[in-house]
Structure 1
Amino acid sequence: MSDRTWPNRSEASHFLTLPFPIKNPIRKHENTSKSTGIQQFRPSSSSRRSDQHRDFAALPNDVLTKIAANFSLPHLQTASLVCKSWRDGLRPLREAMLFLRWGKRFKHGRGGVKPNLEKALESFLKGAARGSTLAMVDAGLVYWEMGKKEEGVALYRKAAELGDPAAQCNLGISYLQAEPPNMKEAVKWLYQASVAGYVRGQYQLALCLHRGGGMNQNMSDAARWYLRAAEGGYVRAMYNVSLCYSLGMGVSQNHRQSRKWMKHAADHGHKKAQFEHGLALFSEGQMMKAVVYLELAGRGGETAAAHVKNVILQQLSPPSRERAFRLADTWRALPSSR
Structure 2
Amino acid sequence: MHPPTPPPTPSPPAPPSTTSSTVMKQTTWPYKSGSPQFTALPFINKPHKKFTKDPKIHQLNFTSKLSSSSSSSFSSTSKCKDPDFSSLPYDVLARIAASFSLPNLQSASLVCRAWRDALRPLREAMLFLKWGKRFKHGRGGVKPNLSKALDSFLKGAARGSTMAMVDAGLIYWEMGKKEEGIEWYRKAAELGNPAGQCNLGISYLQADPPNAKEAIAWLYQASVAGHVRAQYQLALCLHQGRGLDQNLQEAARWYLRAAEGGYVRAMYNTSLCYSFGEGLVQSHRLARKWMKKAADRGHSKAQFEHGLGLFSEGEMMKAVVYLELAMRAGETAAAHVKNVIVQQLSATSRDRAIHLADNWRALPSIR
Aligned residue number for residue 260 of structure 1: 289
Q: Deviations over 1:117-160 (max 9, x none)?
A: 12211111111011000000001111111211111111111110
1:278 to 299, 307, 316: 307
Question: Are residues 1:146 and 2:181 paired?
Answer: no
DSSP-derived class of the 1:74 partner: helix
For residue 251 of structure 1, what is the amino acid of its counterpart? L
Q: 1:157 to 1:48 in 2, by over 3 A?
A: farther
What are the residue-to-residue correspondences of 1:219-258 with 2, within 5 Å?
Answer: 219-258=248-287
DSSP-derived class of the 1:97 partner: helix
2:219 to 181, 185, 190: 190
- Write the distance in 2 (CA, Å) between the matches of 1:183 and 1:220: 20
For residue 89 of structure 2, what is the amino acid of its counterpart? P
Shift of 1:46: 4.5
- Write the distance in 2 (CA, Å) between the matches of 1:135 and 1:45: 48
Report if aligned partners of 2:222, 2:230 keep a CA contact under 8 Å in 1: yes
Question: Are residues 1:77 and 2:72 paired?
Answer: no
Question: Are residues 1:202 and 2:235 paired?
Answer: no
- Write the distance in 2 (CA, Å) between the matches of 1:282 and 1:321: 14
Aligned residue number for residue 18 of structure 2: none
- Output the aligned Cα RMSD: 1.4
For residue 150 of structure 2, what is the amino acid of its counterpart? L
- Write the distance in 2 (CA, Å) between the matches of 1:45 and 1:70: 40
Shift of 1:47: 8.6
Structure 1: gaps of 5 or more residues: 1-41
User: What is the TM-score when the length of structure 2 is the normalising length?
Assistant: 0.78
Shift of 1:102: 1.3
Which range moved further: 88-97 or 207-216?
207-216
Q: Deviations over 1:170-195 (max 9, x none)?
A: 00001101111111110000011101
- Write the distance in 1 (CA, Å) between the matches of 2:83 and 2:77: 12
- Write the distance in 1 (CA, Å) between the matches of 2:304 and 2:130: 39
Report if aligned partners of 2:121, 2:159 keep a CA contact under 8 Å in 1: yes
Q: How many residues align?
A: 294
Question: Are residues 1:100 and 2:100 paired?
Answer: no
1:49 to 51, 62, 80: 80
- Write the distance in 1 (CA, Å) between the matches of 2:317 and 2:149: 48
Question: Are residues 1:298 and 2:327 paired?
Answer: yes
- Write the distance in 1 (CA, Å) between the matches of 2:159 and 2:342: 61
Q: 1:83 to 1:299 in 2, by over 3 A?
A: same
- Write the distance in 2 (CA, Å) between the matches of 1:310 and 1:116: 44
Greater radius of gyration (CA): 2
Aligned residue number for residue 307 of structure 1: 336
Aligned residue number for residue 90 of structure 1: 119
Report if aligned partners of 2:270, 2:290 keep a CA contact under 8 Å in 1: yes
Q: 1:47 to 1:242 in 2, by over 3 A?
A: farther
- Write the distance in 2 (CA, Å) between the matches of 1:149 and 1:46: 59
- Write the distance in 2 (CA, Å) between the matches of 1:54 and 1:68: 19
DSSP-derived class of the 1:69 partner: helix
1:288 to 309, 317, 340: 317
- Write the distance in 1 (CA, Å) between the matches of 2:143 and 2:308: 45
Aligned residue number for residue 9 of structure 1: none
Structure 2: gaps of 5 or more residues: 1-72
For residue 191 of structure 2, what is the amino acid of its counterpart? L
- Write the distance in 2 (CA, Å) between the matches of 1:214 and 1:48: 55
- Write the distance in 2 (CA, Å) between the matches of 1:58 and 1:175: 40
Shift of 1:114: 2.2
For residue 80 of structure 2, what is the amino acid of its counterpart? R
Q: Deviations over 1:272-305 (max 9, x none)?
A: 1001100000001111111111111111111111
Shift of 1:265: 0.4
DSSP-derived class of the 1:131 partner: coil
Aligned residue number for residue 13 of structure 1: none
Q: Deviations over 1:71-122 (max 9, x none)?
A: 1111111111111111111000000011111111222222222222122111
2:89 to 40, 60, 73: 60
Question: Are residues 1:127 and 2:139 paired?
Answer: no
